[in-house]
């Protein structure tokens, strides 16, 4: 399939992708839903008003109404957009007035959060990450807690501090406690990134209603990259007995474009073998993971180039997205359109694929040497962390773009 819009080679956003986001054109103050193709953004509200897109989802400033519409509507809109943007269709291609209203260069818009996020849950679904953390903080011979191989562990995060890519992050304050010392209050010294992928939910469920693993995909709108910023020193002192709090709630960054399951279908693959066998309500038949390459780079303040510190893959996750959502709702918890569920840190089997500085530097004992001559145990003030993701095979590339965040000094 080809588009009349020129898509540069290697672009994250060919006509086979068409991710959804919310943007504000330069010089405007109105956010509106759009889709990305090549170096352009298509205004979906203008497509509705023109009659080419026969829907009523895109007049507002979020994607929540579209998320609520469900899989049949998602598939219909995707097919319609692919037709409108195809090289053979003259409707938009030959209407220069409509093109001037509806098409914007991507470098001439600002991206904002794609949805009103009511709730946010962060899972802990990478066996390699959980094993590394358990080895660092507990017992290497018994790194996984007894429940970990039986259910997708997660915690309820802070939705109000989820921010779009490009938002600068202040180093947080909190209580910390060194060994054999009293607690103190101050700024975090061990600031970290966590490489994650999240999904937005679609149609709402009622309180007491359960989503099964068989129909979970019908409630999953699409994926974004997630940087779950973490203050390790604050986290270590406060997390017992109820889990993350100030060490996590100060900021979570997400990429602006939501990549749909339909776009990622060619990259579906098996996840890790699960042993012991999950209980029946979590047992999935078929492949429910995706072969998505992930990368994290750090650019030091004033440095001429960035340094890649991690190359991982979404397929390493032990608990898949359908199991995560099925377990989340198995007790009767309801979901709403625009809820965000993150994977937890995605680490692979080798050091180069570890998804956090905690693991990469092994709690600071093996610093990363940077190209500007400095070294990193954790993230320094002025550092910019850049996460990227893309699935690619047989000449087809479906990308996520980037999630970028720069660390500001505590104040």
Catalytic residues: 129
Q: Are 115 and 63 in contact (CB under 8 A)?
A: yes
Q: Are 252 and 163 in contact (CB under 8 A)?
A: yes
Q: Are 20 and 62 in contact (CB under 8 A)?
A: no
Question: Rounded to an integer, what distance in angstroms lies between the CA atom of residue 77 and that of residue 81?
Answer: 6
Find all residues with CB under 8 Å of 344, minimum gap 6, and list them: 122, 123, 124, 125, 126, 129, 154, 194, 196, 228, 317
What six digits make up the tokens of 146?
Answer: 């007894």
- Among residues 166, 347, 187, 156, the alpha carbon closest in space to that of 253 is found at 166
Question: Rounded to an integer, what distance in angstroms lies between the CA atom of residue 145 and that of residue 291?
Answer: 28
What six digits make up the tokens of 311?
Answer: 């190359």
């Amino acid at each position: 399939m080809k588009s009349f819009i020129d898509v540069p080679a290697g672009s994250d956003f060919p006509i086979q992708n068409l991710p959804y986001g919310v943007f504000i054109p330069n010089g405007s103050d109105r956010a509106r839903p759009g889709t990305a193709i090549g170096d352009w953004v298509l205004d979906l509200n203008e497509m509705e008003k023109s009659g080419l897109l026969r829907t009523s989802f895109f007049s507002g400033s979020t994607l929540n109404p579209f998320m609520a519409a469900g899989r049949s509507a998602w598939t219909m809109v995707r097919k319609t957009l692919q037709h409108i943007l195809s090289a053979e269709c003259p409707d938009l291609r030959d209407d220069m007035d409509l093109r001037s209203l509806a098409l914007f260069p991507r470098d001439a818009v600002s991206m904002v959060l794609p949805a009103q996020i009511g709730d946010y849950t962060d899972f802990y679904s990478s066996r390699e990450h959980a094993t590394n953390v358990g080895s660092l903080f507990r017992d290497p011979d018994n790194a996984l807690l007894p429940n970990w191989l039986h259910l997708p562990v997660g915690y309820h995060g802070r939705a109000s501090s989820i921010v779009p890519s490009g938002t600068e992050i202040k180093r947080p304050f909190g209580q910390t406690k060194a060994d054999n010392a009293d607690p103190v209050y101050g700024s975090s010294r061990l600031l970290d990134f966590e490489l994650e992928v999240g999904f937005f939910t679609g149609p709402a469920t009622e309180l007491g209603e359960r989503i099964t693993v068989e129909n979970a995909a019908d409630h999953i709108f699409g994926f974004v990259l997630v940087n779950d910023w973490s203050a390790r020193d604050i986290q270590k002192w406060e997390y017992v007995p109820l889990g993350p709090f100030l060490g996590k709630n100060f900021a979570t960054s997400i990429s602006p474009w939501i990549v749909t399951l339909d776009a990622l279908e060619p990259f579906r693959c098996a996840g890790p073998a699960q042993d012991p066998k999950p209980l029946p309500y979590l047992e999935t038949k078929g492949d429910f993971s995706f072969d998505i390459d992930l990368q994290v780079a750090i650019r030091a303040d004033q440095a001429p180039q960035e340094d890649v510190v991690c190359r991982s893959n979404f397929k390493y996750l032990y608990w898949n997205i359908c199991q995560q959502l099925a377990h989340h709702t198995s007790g009767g918890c309801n979901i709403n359109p625009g809820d965000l569920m993150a994977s937890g840190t995605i680490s692979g089997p080798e050091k180069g694929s570890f998804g956090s500085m905690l693991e990469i530097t092994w709690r600071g004992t093996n610093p990363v040497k940077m190209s500007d001559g400095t070294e990193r145990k954790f993230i320094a003030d002025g550092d910019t962390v850049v996460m990227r993701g893309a699935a690619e095979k047989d000449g087809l590339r479906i990308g996520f773009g980037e999630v970028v965040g720069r660390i500001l000094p505590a104040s």
